[in-house]
A and B are shown apart, each in its own frame.
Chain A
Amino acid sequence: MMGILQTAATKSPWIVHFDCGSCNGCDIEILACLTPLYDVERFGVLNVGNPKHADILVVSGTANYRNARVLRNVYDQMPWPKAVVAVGACASTGGIFRNCYNTLGGVDKVIPVDVYVPGCAAKPEAIMEGVLQAVQVLEKRKETGETYAG
């Protein structure tokens, strides 16, 4: 039974998108990936609203004190194996907002990140590439039997 689930996770990864403190630029590009021109659904990728359904967490924007708790909560609710994609300069390092008083920096200050997608705003092509790399991370985790490190 576990085998089927894990094969499904890599052949048809479901993503959940969480916007931390993004300017919307990356968010609309993530949404644009789902729409007819880019259409990630041809790779079996489906955007879901429930973190318990999801294999890959796509995060955009900087972490701040208030949304860090929500981000951690969403991440913790996802079942193992899971992977995290940080989309855009803000999610990777804090970007232009790095030194603002209300930002913690990149989302890797809060949760472990597997794939960083550069760009401000990241292009849909780059986001798709990032998600596909995250699928490989999932595959590797499945093969090696790596367990959840928290």
Chain B
Amino acid sequence: MLDNEKIIELQDLKKETLLLKNQGYRYITMSCVDLGDSFDLIYHFDKAYEIYNMRFSVAKGTIVPSLSDVYFCAMLTENELKDLFGLEFSGLVLDCGGNLLITDEVGAAPMTKQYVVKAKESE
């Protein structure tokens, strides 16, 4: 549990974010934690040095609405999480197709817990 945290529902995400934006909050970033069969998504916002966090859990494979039409800067974070966790976002304004950071050789979703680091040939 983080300081200043609010647990929300997936369908309220857009509504809550718009409220925050109207109150003058600045988008910092979002974090994703792999919990095994679901993902914990935490959105971090800032206003006057105070951090505000929104959290919800989604089952793997759920499509999450993108915030990039509210905060354009969420686009980069969402593309990153798409690469690293295999999360899907609907309505992403600039979609790099899972190739923002990694190439296809790496394999899908390298940051998830199931991912096994390949043994290098010399080891």
Chain A residues whose C-beta falls within 8 Å of the C-beta of B107 in the assembled complex: 101
Decide: B118 and A101 in contact? CB cutoff 8 A. Answer: yes
A residues contacting the other copy or chain, number (CB 8 A): 8
B65 interfacial contact with A, CB 8 Å: no
> Residues on B close to A: CB < 8 A?
101-103, 105-107, 110, 115, 117-118, 120, 122
Question: Which residues of A have CB within 8 Å of B117?
Answer: 99-101
CB within 8 Å of B: which A92-118 residues: 98-102, 105
**Nearest Cβ in chain A — how far from B122, in angstroms?**
8
State whether A65 and B103 are in contact (beta carbons under 8 Å apart), knowing that A101-B110, A102-B110 are contacts in the complex.
Answer: yes
Mark contacts of A67-100 with chain B using CB atoms, 8 A cut-off: 1 yes-contact digit, 0 otherwise.
0000000000000000000000000000000111
Residue A52 CB within 8 A of the other chain: no
In the bound complex, do residue B120 and residue A98 qualify as a contact, i.e. CB atoms below 8 Å apart?
yes
Q: Is the CB of A102 within 8 A of B120?
A: no
Q: A66-B103, A101-B118, A105-B122 are in contact. List 19 more A-B contacts (CB 8 A).
A: A65-B102, A65-B103, A65-B105, A65-B106, A66-B102, A98-B120, A99-B117, A99-B120, A100-B117, A101-B106, A101-B107, A101-B110, A101-B115, A101-B117, A102-B101, A102-B102, A102-B106, A102-B110, A105-B120
What residues make up the interface of A, taking CB atoms closer than 8 Å to B? 65-66, 98-102, 105
Contacts of A98 in B (CB 8 A): 120
Residues of chain A within 8 A (CB-CB) of B103 are 65-66
* Distance (whole angstroms) from the CB of B100 to the closest CB of chain A: 11
Residues in A whose Cβ lies below 8 Å from that of B110: 101-102
Q: Which residues of B contact A105 (CB under 8 A)?
A: 120, 122
Most buried by B among A66, A101, A105: A101
Separation in Å of the B105 CB from the closest CB of chain A?
Answer: 5
A101 to B106, CA, bound (A): 7
Which A residues lie within 8 Å of B118 (CB)?
Answer: 101
Cα distance A136–B106 when bound, in Å?
Answer: 38
Question: Separation in Å of the A56 CB from the closest CB of chain B?
Answer: 27
**Nearest CB in chain B to that of A67: its residue:** B103
Which 5 pairs of residues, A with B, have the shortest CB-CB distance?
A101-B110, A65-B103, A65-B105, A66-B103, A102-B106
The distance in angstroms between the C-alpha atoms of A102 and B107, with both chains bound, is 10
8 contacts across the A-B interface (CB closer than 8 A): A65-B102, A65-B105, A66-B102, A98-B120, A99-B117, A100-B117, A102-B102, A102-B110
